[in-house]
Structures are given as C-alpha cells and as structure tokens.
Structure 1
Amino acid sequence: MSPLSRRSFLRGSSLAAAGLAAGALPAALQAAAPAAATAGAGPVLLNFNECPLGPSPAAQEAVRAILPASGRYLFGLRGGLAAEFAHQHGLPVDHVAVYAGSSDPLDRAALAFTGPQRPLVLADPTFEAVADTAAAQGAAVHRVRLRADGSHDVRAMAAAAPQAGLVYVCNPNNPTGSVTARAELDWLLANKPAGSVLLVDEAYIEYSQERSMLDHVRAGADVVVLRTFSKIYGMAGLRLGLALGRPDLLAKLAAFGSNPLPATALAAGLASLRDPGLVPERRRANALVRDQTIAWLQARGYPCLPSQANCFMVDVGTDGREFAAAMAGHGVLIGRSWPVWPSRVRVTVGTGEEMARFREVFALLAPARAAAA
C-alpha cells in the first residue's frame, strides 16, 4: 500500500472501518474477532491524532456567543487572533498569518518553495502531505530515514539534496511522537542547502517540553513555523492554524489566494489562547495516559518509540495493516503503518477509558511476549 496523506486518508470513513465483518479480516485473526464491539458502545477513535476532549469550555462558549453575528464576515477577528498570538510570543504581528488549519499553509509552502529544480527533503516516516503537493508539481522528494530513537537525521537531511528548495521537519514528529533536540534543529537551519527554507511543523509542540523555533522567526531566519489548533486545543473540525515567518516568506504563501475564515473558529481560537491553564493541564493529562499505555505495552513485549505527543508507534510484530483491521473489528480504530515500518502502527492517545478499552482489545489480539527493551 502506498503512503496516504492525511487528506486522502480522511476520505475513508473511520466508522466504516469499525464495522468490518470478521470475514474481511486476515484468516489468522478471524477466530479472535467478535461479532461486534461492546454492545451499545460506539467505536473508540484512536486513529487521527485528534484531541478526545474537544474545544475547551471557554472556546465552546465563545462559539455560542459569536454564532448570532456570524452572518457577517467579521474580518477583525483574524487580525485579533494574529495580534494575540504575536503578543504572547514576542513576534511582530506581520510575522503571523492565520489559516484554516495548518494543512493549508503546508501545501502553500510546497507550492512556493519546491519545483522541478527545487527538491523537497523530509524524514521517513513523517507527515507526508507536503511531499504529495511537492511531487504533484514535479519536485523530487528525498526521504531520509529517522534515527533509531525516532529523531531526525539532520546531517543526512542537509546532504540529501544540495539544490533543495524546502526542508520539512515535524517536531514532535507525526506519526512517531518523537522529538528532535533543539540543538539538532539549530544545526540544520545553519547548514541546510543555500537558498532553501526550513519548514518546521509544530502541530504537537504544546504536548512536549521542547523549545519552539519561534526565536528564529523573530531573528529573521529562513524558517517558517506552523502551528495548529487541531491538536491540544481540540479544534480539528473547526479548522484554525498559523504560519509564522518573515513577511517576505509569508507573502509567498499568501500569493496562492486567500479566503475569509470561520468566525466560530477564530472566536474559539482567541478564547483558547487566553486560557492560561488549558495547555499545561491537557499536556499533563495526555502524558499520564500516554506513558501508562506505553509502559503497559513494553512490559508485554511490544516496543514503542519514545513520544512527547498525543500519539505513539508500537511494533506489533506482524503486518500492521492486518492488526489495525483486527482492532477495528473489535470497535477500536487505530492508525496505520508506514511502508518503511510495516509492523509498527500509530496509536492516538485517547481518554483513560478509551485507552483501557485499547489495552483490553490489544491483549485479546496480541499475546504477551518477553518484555521489550
């Protein structure tokens, strides 16, 4: 199976996957599959790196409050959100651009900075939407294997394509949740191919204790940083994100057109930014459930990469696609595997109750082995 971008993967219904009949499962797993998931319970959705908590109470109230006025474009909200983020992070406001999620500026970066003579360099595996867009316009795509600990091999990336137009780093990385040390990213920025732009996707940065690359944005470096409200802020369906960089770099993204943003998303984003306890509390709660689940899996002999995000990868020791299908047959939807790691599957961190159900089904399908190192 070829890699699927988030965009193409979302075309398939996760709910349909939960209804896989036992006969559609691999023969080796059919015997273990029950007729349905727990009676009366919907599927457990651990497949798209969503936040199970949804928008914060303050964000939900902001949506309700703005709804009667949303017959207007309310253009000022966009500037208000940019100004709030700029103030909190010490950026000039013209270094902040607001989009409907971070996939939009991600695609724009591929369009602006890659082409037939300007390759793209990225890790393998990582979030590959930028590779899909770059390849569609004739750019060569150079994939560099992650290190054994899940970090980016920045020296190999710097050397992969001397004419590269764009170097993409997702930190913490999707699908692994692993981080690349700030010193390594500093080295990559200083040693990337001349004339290229470093695109740092910080969709999961709030889940970690890692330092953002925003100080390089403030310093005017050849870097664009992406942020999203889809993850820790629980706004995946509302669609809100940011691109952060020098005005001339942001102008290249903006050259591909613009569109008014939903007033509901902007109001929810502002309320989320102004809630000082939201990120620390959600970071703590996610880490607790994530680390407990990883420890349980490794104690049963199933190794996981270290994660500082709301997802992790576990080596199930068999075909990852088949294992994910079997889990879906029990009403627990997990992420996919990648061609470079066919036996590893991505799992989103859900609530404590959801992860308990995950462990129950995992134990049914995967017997304990010698403890993983």
Structure 2
Amino acid sequence: EGNTCIGLIDEGHDVIVTRTFSKIFGMAGLRMGYSISSAETAEKIRGVVMSWSPCTSYAAAIGAYQDEAFIAYSKQKIVEAREMVNMTVDTLGLERLPSQTNFVYFKSGKEANDVQKAMAAKLISVRGQYMDYNEWTRVSMGKIEDVERFCKALPAVVGA
C-alpha cells in the first residue's frame, strides 16, 4: 500500500511492476499474477509469454482480490508471524534484512544448506543457499503454529 514503483512507469521509466496472488490471496498453487508497465513493454512481454491460465484461475483471482476480509486476515497473520521471527532472530543476535514481505532473510553464521538440513530433520522447511549468500537463510511465513516451531528450533540449529 505504501510502497510502489507504479509512479515510475507514469514518469516514463522502463519499469515493470509485478504482483502474484500466491501468499496474501491464498492462491500459490494457481500461479496467478499480473504486471503493470507501459503499453510498449506490455506488448513485448505478450510476445514471449510461455504459459496460460485457465478461466477458473481468473475467476479465483477476481474473487480473492475482492475478498477484503480475507486479505486483511492474511496480512495480519503474515505480520504476526514475521514479528515472531524477527524477535527470535534479534534475540539470537543474528543479522537480518528489513522485510515487508512474507519472509525473513537472516544471516545464521552457519552454511545455509546445513541450516536447511537441520530444520528439515525437525520437519521445518526453509530455503537453502541462494546464489553465493552461503550463510543467509530465508524463512517464509506460514501458519502461526509452524512459525512457532521454527522459532523454538532456531536457537539449537544455529548453536545459540
């Protein structure tokens, strides 16, 4: 709501703004989203689209977009979960990136793939190494009880 680059498009910058319906709209399995760009850029994109969505996906997206109560609920739960993770990471004295998203990216001091394996052994899913950021781990927000399990497991996994 407060952060957007749409104004850059209006100013003539060659920018594409995208949005998925994955998390806050509860539609991760449908792979629905949209982009905002200049008409010229949209035409270029249209020429290389490699997939299509069935009409049921469009209907679901319209319904989800209009369900303001669900969106507010989803946002509240994401914020609640993110605050729990931030507090845990901060308490452990670990560095993290600021986030307004559905995930927290933090530096554990351990190899990210080792953190991923240790968490998997506890039936908790986190992202392993991304590019060459070998000590940084990404954890996405989920059900509050799953986030609580992550927060309880993290100190032992990172040796704090």
TM-score of the superposed pair, with normalisation by structure 2: 0.87
Could you tell me how far apart the structure 2 residues matched to 1:303 and 1:216 are?
31
Post-superposition offset of 1:286: 0.9
Amino-acid identity (%): 26
The partner residue of 1:348 within 136, 140, 149 is 140
Could you tell me how far apart the structure 2 residues matched to 1:313 and 1:257 are?
30
Could you tell me how far apart the structure 1 residues matched to 2:89 and 2:82 are?
11
Could you tell me how far apart the structure 1 residues matched to 2:29 and 2:71 are?
19
Q: Secondary structure, in 3 states, of the residue corresponding to 1:223?
A: coil
Specify the alignment match of 1:262 in structure 2.
54
- Cα deviation code 1:325-368 (max 9, x no counterpart): 11111211111223432111111111210011112222332333
Query: Which one-letter code corresponds to 1:287 in the other structure?
Result: V
Could you tell me how far apart the structure 1 residues matched to 2:13 and 2:114 are?
45
Aligned length: 160
Specify the alignment match of 1:338 in structure 2.
130
Post-superposition offset of 1:274: 1.4
What are the residue-to-residue correspondences of 1:198-277 with 2, within 5 Å?
209-256=1-48, 260-277=52-69
- Structure 1 unaligned blocks of 5 or more: 1-208, 369-373
Could you tell me how far apart the structure 1 residues matched to 2:52 and 2:114 are?
42
**Which structure has the higher relative contact order (CA within 8 Å, separation 6+)?**
1
Question: Is contact 2:110-2:158 (8 Å) kept?
Answer: no
Q: Does 1:294 align with 2:81?
A: no
Question: Is contact 2:115-2:158 (8 Å) kept?
Answer: no
RMSD of aligned alpha carbons = 2.1
Could you tell me how far apart the structure 2 residues matched to 1:365 and 1:215 are?
43
Could you tell me how far apart the structure 2 residues matched to 1:365 and 1:223 are?
40
What are the residue-to-residue correspondences of 1:1-373 with 2, within 5 Å?
209-256=1-48, 260-368=52-160
Question: Is contact 1:238-1:264 (8 Å) kept?
Answer: no
Name the structure with the higher helix share: 2
Could you tell me how far apart the structure 2 residues matched to 1:256 and 1:267 are?
24
Post-superposition offset of 1:278: 3.2
Query: Which one-letter code corresponds to 2:77 in the other structure?
Result: A
Question: Is contact 1:324-1:336 (8 Å) kept?
Answer: yes
Could you tell me how far apart the structure 1 residues matched to 2:137 and 2:118 are?
12
TM-score of the superposed pair, with normalisation by structure 1: 0.40
Post-superposition offset of 1:260: 4.7
Could you tell me how far apart the structure 2 residues matched to 1:317 and 1:259 are?
40
Post-superposition offset of 1:301: 2.4
- Cα deviation code 1:280-326 (max 9, x no counterpart): 33222211221122112211222222211111112221211112111
Post-superposition offset of 1:257: 5.2
- Cα deviation code 1:240-274 (max 9, x no counterpart): 11121222211111122576521221111000111
Could you tell me how far apart the structure 1 residues matched to 2:140 and 2:51 are?
31
Question: Is contact 1:302-1:316 (8 Å) kept?
Answer: yes
